[in-house]
């Protein structure tokens, strides 16, 4: 337990894996202090395997894309200066979800760009949208 919350296997193994001093030690130690009542749970933390990784970009239990998750990472990509659909597609191809499936997300990316752009325009109503080729001579 950490405070009033029970720690899960992934968090325990993450913390135990960081035991020792970075760059100084090749080994570290992890101690679990538990009451007799907590003993079984402590053994569960130590001995049980990690649950399978699940991408936060997929709908729970599926390899279907979660549009909210995609919108979030696309906002991050766009705010980092990535603006071309091809670049965003490459960015999404580097995610765990992409490694877990053979589905192409290119169509979803294009739709999400439209949604992100329209939400941005709604948030800033004084903006004007111009077609670049008409306004740049």
Which of 66-75, 100-109, 123-132 holds the top average pLDDT? 66-75
Distances (CA, A) of 102 to 67, 93, 117: 17, 10, 27
- The whole-angstrom distance between residue 50's C-alpha and the CA centroid of its chain comes to 18
Domain shared by 35 and 74, yes or no? no
The answer to whether 28 and 18 are in contact (CB under 8 A) is yes
What is the rounded distance in angstroms from the CA atom of residue 90 to the CA atom of residue 104? Answer: 11
Domain shared by 77 and 39, yes or no? no
What is the rounded distance in angstroms from the CA atom of residue 109 to the CA atom of residue 85? Answer: 7
Structural domain containing residue 116: 67-135
pTM above 0.85, yes or no: no
Residue 1: name the closest of 40, 41, 28 by CA: 41
Per-residue pLDDT at 136 exceeds 60: no
The answer to whether 81 and 68 are in contact (CB under 8 A) is no
pLDDT in tens, 10-48: 888 888 877 766 777 777 788 888 899 999 999 999 999
Q: What is the largest CA-CA distance in the chain?
A: 78
Residue 58: name the closest of 115, 124, 108, 131 by CA: 108
The answer to the question of residue 90 being in a domain is yes
pLDDT of residue 134: 44
* Cβ-based neighbours of 105, under 8 Å, separated by 6 or more: 65, 70, 89, 92, 98
pLDDT in tens, 109-122: 666 767 666 766 66
* Cβ-based neighbours of 80, under 8 Å, separated by 6 or more: none
Provide the domain count of the chain: 2
What is the rounded distance in angstroms from the CA atom of residue 83 to the CA atom of residue 77? Answer: 8
Domain shared by 24 and 81, yes or no? no
The answer to the question of residue 56 being in a domain is no
């Amino acid at each position: 337990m950490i405070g009033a919350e029970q720690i899960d296997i992934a968090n325990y193994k993450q913390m135990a894996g960081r035991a020792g001093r970075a760059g100084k030690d090749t080994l570290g130690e992890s101690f679990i202090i538990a009451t007799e009542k907590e003993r079984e749970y402590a053994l569960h933390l130590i001995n049980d395997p990690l649950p399978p990784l699940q991408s936060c970009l997929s709908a729970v239990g599926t390899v279907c894309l979660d549009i909210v998750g995609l919108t979030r990472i696309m906002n991050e990509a766009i705010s980092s200066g990535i603006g071309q659909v091809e670049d965003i597609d490459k960015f999404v191809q580097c995610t765990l979800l992409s490694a877990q499936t053979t589905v192409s997300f290119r169509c979803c990316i294009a739709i999400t760009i439209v949604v992100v752009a329209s939400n941005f325009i709604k948030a800033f109503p004084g903006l004007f949208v111009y077609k670049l080729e008409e306004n740049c001579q």
